[in-house]
Amino acid sequence: MRKRWWVACAGLPIVAALAMIQSGPLPLRAWLTHPLASFILARGQNPWPVHLTRPGSKPLSAMAQLGREVFFDPSLSSSGRLSCASCHSPDHAYGPSGGEPAVNGGPDLSRQGVRAVPSLMYLERQPGFSIGPDDDEAEDVNLTQLAALAVKAPRARKTAGDSAAAANLVPQGGLFWDGRADTLQDQASGPLLSPLEMDGGDVETVAAKLRQAPYAARMRALVGPAVFDTPALAVSEALFAVARFQIEDVSFHPYISKFDFWLEGKARLTRSELRGYLLFNDPSKANCAGCHLAAPRPDGLPPLFTDHQFEALGAPRNPALAANRDPAYFDLGVCGPWRSDMVGETRFCGMFTTPTLRNVATRSVFFHNGVFHSLRTVMDFYNDRDVAPEHVFPRGAGGSVARFDDIPPELRGNVDVVDAPFDRHPGDRPAMTSAEEDDIVAFLRALTDGYRP
């Protein structure tokens, strides 16, 4: 009796360990080569915690305080009802609060915008727009020259865990879905002046409103008493102040998701989140990390979940966009129509920026044209686009599947069919099972800020 009790006590942990190995997402070989690390990882913890370097939190400068006032000021819009914060809601990760594919603006809020509202978060390290890696120290090289070089340059496949693709000569960086602005200050002028958005009028109109604003005295104190004598300077300063608010206010880049704390060894991932994390990084499964870089840098800067590069993914056309009622209208990103300097670079047509995935689970509208409304449908798109396109695209007039229907036929060759999971063919097994898609979505939810360890 006594002996049997002892055997049971010794056997239980072995059985438990075997059960852990059997049911967990880690392969046996990992257990054999890294037993302790595998044990810790299987428990949902980071076996090698790191120290993350987060942007410091200091009181806002006078310039940033001015910017905060401008950011929330609806009087700069023609309707008097839209401010920056209307579309970039602080309560929704500085993105849209609703699921509309694009927000309405203009004098009576009846004009629909043309693209989904991007988040303003995690842009503090955004590089300028460039073809290939941005090199601010090389001063005599322009975009046209870079684009010419890119024609002949080979491209490395985007593979999770492999940094070779970082050197690819492809469009990267910049702000907006098409990268047409390089600075947050420039970016802020877009919605302010667009007739479809805040519709602020011309620079003189905006400057006249700034002059009447409650923060006009603050502007004079910072820039000088003559600031309103030059309307362009007044608007530049006000929009720079907005940019400065975005740079200084830590709410734009807090790096406090569950995953950040996991990286630091202060949080445990659930089994589903851990499976999702491994699938996210698996080059032969979802390969998400091929573009949405997930590793912290050696100097402790947290991962941004984007490589800043542009991609033509060929998302389906969104009939809910008013602009799409014109069958001749195609939003082609880098090559226009909303950016004008790369219209001739047709091999970049259809390319849009790769956004960060931080706080992506707080959104209800995805991709540049807002065609998807849940993370699960986005995952389905990645999974089915090539193996079962009929699940993704509508059928055309003749009943055939209208693949890549948001890109004109002659430009569909630009769509990425090389990088996994887009390297498959109709009838192939999809990269992920339904349960695996759910696990990845669970992991994406762990990228939402506001976790308390």
Partner 1 sequence: MNSRKSLLLAAVFAALAAMRGAADAAEGAIAPSGTAPQEIAPAATPIRHLVVIFNENVSFDHYFATYPNAANPPDQPVFAATPAAPAVNNLVSANLLTNNPNFTNKANGPNAAEPFRLDRTQASTVTQEHRYTAEQQAYNGGKADLFPKYTGKGTPGGAGAFGTKGQVMGYYDGNTVTALWNYARHFAMSDNFFDETYGPSTPGAINLVSGQTNGMRIVATTKKPSTLAAVSYYVADGQGGFTMINDVDPGYDVCSVAGDQTMLEGKNIGDLLNAGRIAWGGFMGGFNLQVVNADGSTGCARSTHSPVVGSDVRDYVAHHNWFQYYASTANPSHARPSSLQAIGYSFQADGTTADPANHQYDLRDFYAAVKAGNYPAVSFIKLPAYQDGHAGYSDPLDEQAGTVAVINFLQQQPGWKDTAVIIAWDDSDGWYDHAFASTTNPSFDPEADQLDGPGKCGMGTARAGVAGKPVNGRCGPGTRLPFLVISPWSKANYVSHDRISEASVARFIEDNWLHGARLGGGSFDETAGSIMDLFDLKSGGGNAALYLDPSTGTPVASPP
**Bond into 337 cis (ω within 30):** yes
Residue 124 engages partner 1 in binding (rule: CB under 8 A): yes
Q: Which tokens in the block code for residue 323?
A: 């602009």
Residue of 298, 398, 399, 409 interacting with partner 1 (CB under 8 A): 298
Q: Which range of residues in 206-214, 237-245, 373-381, 387-395 is near partner 1 by CB under 8 A? A: 237-245
Q: Which of 84, 103, 116, 175 binds partner 1 (CB under 8 A)?
A: 175
Contact present, 148 and 134 (Cβ < 8 Å):
no
Q: Does 223 interact with partner 1 (rule: CB under 8 A)?
A: yes
Dihedral, CA of residue 97, residue 375, residue 423 and residue 172, to nearest 10? 30
**Smallest separation, CB 3 to partner 1 (Å):** 36
125 is an interface residue for partner 1 by CB under 8 A: yes
Burial class (CB in 10 A: 0-12, 13-18, 19+), 233: middle
232 binds partner 1 per the rule CB under 8 A = yes
Query: 3-state class of 293 per DSSP?
Result: coil
- Other CB atoms within a 10 A radius of the CB of residue 10 amount to 8
**For partner 1, which is the closer residue by CB, 8 or 221?**
221
Report residue 360 as tokens: 């992506």
Q: Which residues of 382-414 are buried (b: 16+ CB within 10 A; e: fewer)?
A: bbbbbbbbeebbeeeeeeeebbbbbbeeebbeb
Report if residue 137 touches partner 1, rule: CB under 8 A. Answer: yes
Instruction: Report d(CA 377, CA 390) in Å as an integer.
Output: 14
- Determine if 297 is a binding residue for partner 1 (CB under 8 A): yes
Q: Which residues in the 41-80 window bind partner 1 by CB under 8 A?
A: 46-48, 50, 55, 59, 61-64
160 scored as a contact of partner 1 (CB under 8 A):
yes
Between 186 and 341, whose beta carbon lies closer to partner 1?
186
The three-class DSSP label of residue 167 is helix
Check residue 35 for interaction with partner 1 (CB under 8 A): no
The smaller minimum CB distance to partner 1, of residues 102 and 274, is found at: 274
Q: Annotate 416-442 with b (16+ C-beta within 10 A) or e (fewer).
A: beebbbbebeeeeebbbeeebbbbbbb
Dihedral over Cα of 361, 367, 371, 375: its sign: negative
Pick the closer one to partner 1 by CB: 108 or 135. 135
299 binds partner 1, rule: CB under 8 A: yes
Q: How near is the Cβ of 188 to partner 1 at its closest, in Å? A: 11
Rounded to the nearest whole angstrom, what is the least distance from the CB of residue 364 to partner 1 in the complex?
Answer: 26
Pick from 221, 390, 391, 450 the residue near partner 1 by CB under 8 A.
Answer: 221
Please report where in the chains the tokens 């569950």 appear, as a residue. 258
Q: Give residues in contact with partner 1 (CB under 8 A).
A: 26-30, 33-34, 37-38, 46-48, 50, 55, 59, 61-64, 123-128, 134-140, 160-161, 175, 182-186, 221-224, 226-227, 229-230, 232-233, 236-237, 240, 243-244, 246-248, 278, 281-284, 295-301
